[in-house]
Amino acid sequence: MNPLYLIAFKSILTKEITRFSRIWVQTIVPPAITMTLYFLIFGNLVGSRIGQMGGVSYMEFIAPGLIMMSVITNSFSNVASSFYSAKFQRNLEEIMVAPVPHYVMIAGYVGGGVTRGLIVGCIVTIVAMCFVDISIHHLGLVLLTALLTSMMFALAGLINAVFAKSYDDISIIPTFVLTPLTYLGGVFYSLSLLPDFWQGVSALNPVVYVINVFRYGFLGYSDMSVPLSLAIIIGFCAGLWFVAYYLISRGIGLRS
Amino acid sequence: MGDNANALVIEGLKKTYKGGVQAIKSLDLTVKQGDFFALLGPNGAGKSTTIGVISSLVQKSQGSVNVFGFDIDKQLEQAKLCIGLVPQEFNFNQFETVLQIVVNQAGYYGVTRQVALERAEQYLTQLDLWGKRNAQARQLSGGMKRRLMIARALMHRPKLLILDEPTAGVDIELRRSMWDFLKQINEQGVTIILTTHYLEEAEMLCRNIGIIDQGMLVECTTMKALLSKLNMETFILDLRNNVTQTPDLGNITCRLTDSHTLEVDVAKDHNINEVFTLLSAANIEVISMRNKSNRLEELFVELVEKAKEAK
């Protein structure tokens, strides 16, 4: 990368990290509290009556999904709210008037989302370790999946923000799309429990692949083919990147 | 690359917004390197749209824009490197500190953090903001925010500084200190394009002037040439004695606005001494004299009115 672009990338990334760090009570703490409650209620209280799932305790089974759920939500919302705010308050113009290539701008914002997603993921993992013994079957796969997933949803957040015309628009997608996809993505259950038809429907949900690969990284157990799931995640990342690049380079929602 | 004589060349520029509003009908404009150029026009004339196109925030519909010889269609990044923009509205993140805002901005132009910190100290000190470097932007006064935007625009050392109403809402003392700073920057070789509603500001600072109305350039000339077009000036004379009747000044028109104030219209080629001679003869003593209104303002209104009538 051109050294000037690298400096520009670092500047955007630093700005993004500074932003969510400044409001850490809103960005970092709530997911830790929410996930603690999930572990306490679903894992400890309800989970103890469910018994085993996928060959492990219910608490162990849901831990990777809950970690990934926080990564997904935080990566998405960080970029969606930050990029939309910058657009709405017009401070995105600071970057738009500068010789920053579009891919650097996207990488900077997505980098911010990925960083927050991974930080929150680490915190939730630490919370999970208070409730259950976390064993890692394949560390590389865990890290790779976390990175790719945070990238994928950070890109989705960016696309959402490009189209958003009000703050309502950046909460509609998380509420009506992201949350259902996550809850129906196998965080709390094994897909093998579903009838064939719903297993087929679930195959259309990208979150299913994310959670399965991630769970495989921790437990060595997956409902679906790991290489296929990884390929689908990479495919989604690439697809979303091209969509984001197209939108930004055309100035859609940004330039009149 | 490399048209050294001109900082900005706009040819056949047109901009129609999606709703069909034609903000720029056809604009040709050249600003020479090192100039201090005033771009004036009433609200909605197309000034901000023109600036938006130059700085690539607005997509043009037609025409070409060259910044120091760099075509914004083909060499946008090089053109952007030449431009520093001070927009009309505050567009920084209000929660960032002054230092973060200027250092980040430098970073977007590829300036290393170390160099950016040095420049930040220089410009923030010059603009009297160094003491506020760790304050959040929202804690600054309106005048400080305006100065912050100037400092931010200078961080990458642009060759062309575009200021869109930089002194709007700024008190006169501060405005004058900003004028001094801008003059200094211009003397150092930075070309400046200024839009303002304070015509006194344009008259004071700028060497050349373009007046734009309804998306078209209605005048583009030197400030001196433009001001020489004025053929009548109105002076306000403060009188020592109580005067109840309008004095007879021959073919010079005058009127009493109150018993101690006389307005006199004097043609540009007329000897003003004659006014005083006639007033002296009528036993009227003048204690002070001033222009009734800004001369440029009169011309500006006249030119804009003419352009409207022509349509």
| Average pLDDT of span B258-281 | 86
Residue A170 has pLDDT above 70, yes or no: yes
| Average pLDDT of span B26-51 | 93
Task: Give how far Cα A91 sits from Cα of A87, A95, A96, B95, Å.
Answer: 6, 8, 9, 11
Q: Which residue of B has its CA nearest to A256?
A: B58
| Average pLDDT of span B37-45 | 90
Residue B118 has pLDDT above 70, yes or no: yes
Which residues of chain B have a CB within 8 Å of the CB of A253?
A: none
Quote the pLDDT of residue B295.
65
Write down the H helix ranges in chain B: 47-54, 76-82, 98-108, 113-126, 142-154, 172-187, 199-205, 223-227, 273-281, 295-310
Quote the pLDDT of residue B99.
97
| Average pLDDT of span B51-69 | 95
Element (H, E) at B258: strand B253-258
Quote the pLDDT of residue A254.
87
Which residues of chain A have a CB within 8 Å of the CB of B78?
A: 99
Minimal Cβ distance to A94: which of B76, B78, B92? B92
Element (H, E) at B263: strand B261-267
Q: Residue B35: phi, psi to the nearest 5?
A: -75, 160
Quote the pLDDT of residue A160.
96
Task: State the nearest Cα–Cα gap between B29 and chain A, in angstroms.
Answer: 21
Spatial neighbors of A128 by CB under 8 A, at least 6 apart, are A35, A39, A63, A66, A67, A134
Minimal Cβ distance to A11: which of B57, B78, B107? B107
Contact A7 B58 (CB under 8 A): no
Selection from B299, B305, B245 nearest residue B268 by Cα:
B299
Residue A2 has pLDDT above 70, yes or no: yes
| Average pLDDT of span A129-156 | 94
Tell me which of 3.10.580.10, 1.10.520.10, 3.30.70.1560, 3.30.70.580 is the CATH number of domain B232-296. 3.30.70.1560
CATH 3.30.70.1560 in chain B is located at 232-296
Element (H, E) at A177: none
Chosen for mutation from A1, A4, A11 (greatest number of chain B CBs closer than 10 Å) is A11
| Average pLDDT of span B106-124 | 97
Q: Classify strands B286-291 and B6-16 as parallel, antiparallel or unpaired.
A: unpaired
Contacts 24+ apart (CB under 8 A), B4-7: B4/B33, B4/B68, B4/B69, B5/B32, B5/B33, B6/B30, B6/B31, B6/B32, B6/B33, B6/B66, B6/B68, B6/B69, B7/B31, B7/B32, B7/B33, B7/B34, B7/B35, B7/B67, B7/B68, B7/B82, B7/B159, B7/B160, B7/B191
Residues of B with CB under 8 A from a CB of A: 17-18, 52, 55-59, 76-78, 80-81, 83, 85, 87, 89, 91-96, 100, 103-113, 152, 156
Minimal Cβ distance to A99: which of B18, B92, B109? B109
Residue B101 has pLDDT above 90, yes or no: yes
Which residues of chain A have a CB within 8 Å of the CB of B105?
A: 94, 98
Longest Cα–Cα distance of chain B, Å, equals 73
- What percent of chain B has a predicted confidence (pLDDT) above 90? 60
Distance CA B300, CA B309 (A): 14
Q: Which residue of B has its CA nearest to A95?
A: B108
Residue B1 has pLDDT above 60, yes or no: no
Instruction: Pick the more confident residue, B50 or B200.
Output: B50
Instruction: Return the exposure string of B93-132: e unless at least 16 CB atoms fall within 10 Å of the residue's CB, then b.
Output: beebbbbbbbbbbbbbbbbebebbeebbeebbebbebbeb
Distance CA B144, CA B170 (A): 9
Residue A125 has pLDDT above 90, yes or no: yes
Residues of A with CB under 8 A from a CB of B: 3-5, 7-8, 10-12, 14-15, 18-19, 22, 86, 89-91, 93-101, 251, 255-256
Fold assignment, B6-227: Rossmann fold (3.40.50)
Contact A97 B77 (CB under 8 A): no
User: Is residue A149 very low, low, confident or very high in pLDDT (cuts 50, 70, 90)?
Assistant: very high
Quote the pLDDT of residue A192.
83
CATH 3.40.50.300 in chain B is located at 6-227
User: Is residue B183 very low, low, confident or very high in pLDDT (cuts 50, 70, 90)?
Assistant: very high
Q: Which residue of B has its CA nearest to A254?
A: B57
Quote the pLDDT of residue B308.
66
Q: Classify strands B36-40 and B62-67 as parallel, antiparallel or unpaired.
A: unpaired
Contact B109 A98 (CB under 8 A): yes
Beta strands in chain A (DSSP E): 52-53, 56-57
Contact B57 A97 (CB under 8 A): yes
Quote the pLDDT of residue A255.
86
Predicted ipTM beyond 0.85: yes
| Average pLDDT of span B73-99 | 95
Spatial neighbors of B41 by CB under 8 A, at least 6 apart, are B47, B195, B211, B212, B213, B304
Q: Which residue of A has its CA nearest to B77?
A: A99
Residue A234 has pLDDT above 80, yes or no: yes
Residue B140 has pLDDT above 90, yes or no: yes
Quote the pLDDT of residue B43.
86
Q: Which of A92-96, A116-120, A200-204 has the lowest mean pLDDT?
A: A200-204
Which residues of chain B have a CB within 8 Å of the CB of A101?
A: 77
Which residues of chain B have a CB within 8 Å of the CB of A256?
A: 17-18, 52, 57-59
- What percent of chain B has a predicted confidence (pLDDT) above 70? 94
Q: Which residue of A has its CA nearest to B136?
A: A22
In the DSSP assignment, the letter for residue A2 is -
Residue B304 has pLDDT above 90, yes or no: no
Distance CA B23, CA A101 (A): 28
**pLDDT one-digit tens code per residue, B277-296:** 889 988 899 999 988 765 66
Which residues of chain B have a CB within 8 Å of the CB of A88?
A: none
Minimal Cβ distance to A22: which of B18, B57, B95? B95
Q: What does the angle CA A218 – CA A220 – CA A221 come to, to the nearest 5 degrees?
A: 105
